[in-house]
Amino acid sequence: MDLQLTGSRVLVTGGTRGIGRAIVEAFVDEGAVVEFCARDAGEIEETEKGLAARAGRASGVRLDVRDGPALTGWVEEAAGRLGGLDAVVANVSAIAVPDTEENWYTSFEVDLMHTVRLVRSALPHLEASGRGSIVAISSVSGREADFASGPYGTMKTALVGYLSGLALQLAPRGVRANVVSPGNTYFENGFWQGAETGSPDLFTMALGLNPTGRMGTPEEMAKAVVFLSSPVSSFTTGTNLVVDGALTRGIQL
C-alpha cells in the first residue's frame, strides 16, 4: 500500500532509540523528510548515518523537550527548513514509573507538556498543510490500571484525553489527532531489557500476561504511527490505537 508520504515533512520527538528511532526509520522508508530531536549528540549522529541510504531523509537536533522555549523554537526553525509541516509525532517519555513527587513533576513536563507545546507550535503549519496530522504515543498503562499507574500511567491517560479533545476541535480545520498506545515493547537499552535483569519478577509477570507469549517490537509500534499519520488515514481522527498483542482486556466502546 502506498501511504502517500513521499516528500511529507515530519517532526518526531525522541528519534534515536526504541520506538522513536523505529518511527523515524519508517517515515524515511516511505520517502518522508524527517527532523527529530534527542538529548545525546552522539546518538543523533549515529542515527543520521544509519538512515543516510534510505528513501527519504532524516536529520536531528540536540534538544531537551523540558525546555519549552527551545522546543517551540525548534518547531519553528524546522518548519522553516522543511518548508512547512505535514505531521508531528510526540514520542518522548520520561518513563518515570516510581511514585515520587519528583516523578510527578517530571512526567508532567516531559510526557504531557512537551506534547502540548509541540502541538501549539506546529498547529499553524499543520493547518497550512491541508493534511496535518498529530500522533502522540501513550501506553496501555494509560488505558488500564497496572504496575505503572502512578505518574507514568496518569500522564499517559491524560494524553489520550488531550488528543481526543484536539481531534474534535481541529477536525473543521483539517488537522487530525490520534494516539498510539503500545503494549510492552522490548528493545536494546529499553525499559523491559533493563527489567529482564534488574527486576526479573516484574519482567516475568509482564511477559506472562501477554497471550502471544512475547513483547512487541519498536517496528510494530512505528508502523501504526506512520499509518495514522498518512493521508491514507484521512478519515481517522480521535482514535486511540492500542498495539499490544491482546495484552489489555478492556473493551473500547
Answer yes or no: 139 catalytic. yes
Answer yes or no: 138 catalytic. yes
Residue of 8, 129, 133, 138 with catalytic role: 138
Burial of 74 (0-12, 13-18, 19+ CB in 10 A): buried
What is the SS3 assignment for 137? strand
Report how far residue 65's alpha carbon sits from residue 110's, in angstroms, rounded to the nearest whole number: 7
Which cell goes with 225?
504511527
Residue of 139, 141, 181, 230 with catalytic role: 139
Residue of 8, 93, 133, 156 with catalytic role: 156
Residue of 152, 181, 230, 233 with catalytic role: 152
Report how far residue 147's alpha carbon sits from residue 163's, in angstroms, rounded to the nearest whole number: 24
Report how far residue 207's alpha carbon sits from residue 195's, in angstroms, rounded to the nearest whole number: 11
Answer yes or no: 223 catalytic. no
Report how far residue 124's alpha carbon sits from residue 142's, in angstroms, rounded to the nearest whole number: 29
Catalytic residues: 138-139, 152, 156
